[in-house]
């Protein structure tokens, strides 16, 4: 077995996972009534004023 090839492959996969991780993690604020909000640092919904939750995908009413 070619050890450098295996180590290089593992490092490449780890690097790729590190770069792509933000695409798969959704930590945007979510309003229970209005759904996902575009403001990353919001605490309250700009449409209805409800307190926001973190992550997931709320369905708009």
Q: How many domains does the chain fold into?
A: 1
Give residue 55's pLDDT: 64
In a domain, 44, yes or no: yes
- Other beta carbons within 10 angstroms of residue 42's beta carbon come to 14
Q: In terms of Cα–Cα distance, which of 18, 44, 48, 43 is closest to 33?
A: 48
Residue 32 lies in a domain: yes
What torsion, rounded to 10 degrees, do the Cα atoms 5, 8, 9, 15 define? 180
Taking the C-alpha atoms of residue 37 and residue 42, their distance in angstroms, rounded to an integer, is 8
61 within domain boundaries: no
Written as tens digits, the pLDDT of the chain (61 aa) is 689 999 999 999 999 988 888 777 767 788 889 888 888 888 999 889 999 987 654 444 3
Q: Strands, DSSP E only, in 1-61?
A: 29-31, 35-36, 53-54
Any domain includes 27: yes
Within a domain: residue 59? no
Full residue range of the structural domain in which residue 18 is found = 3-54
């Amino acid at each position: 077995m070619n050890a450098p090839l295996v180590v290089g492959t593992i490092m490449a996969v780890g690097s790729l996972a590190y770069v792509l991780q933000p695409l798969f993690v959704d930590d945007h604020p979510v309003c229970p009534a209005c759904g996902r909000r575009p403001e990353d640092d919001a605490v309250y919904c700009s449409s209805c004023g409800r307190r926001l939750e973190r992550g997931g995908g709320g369905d708009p009413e």
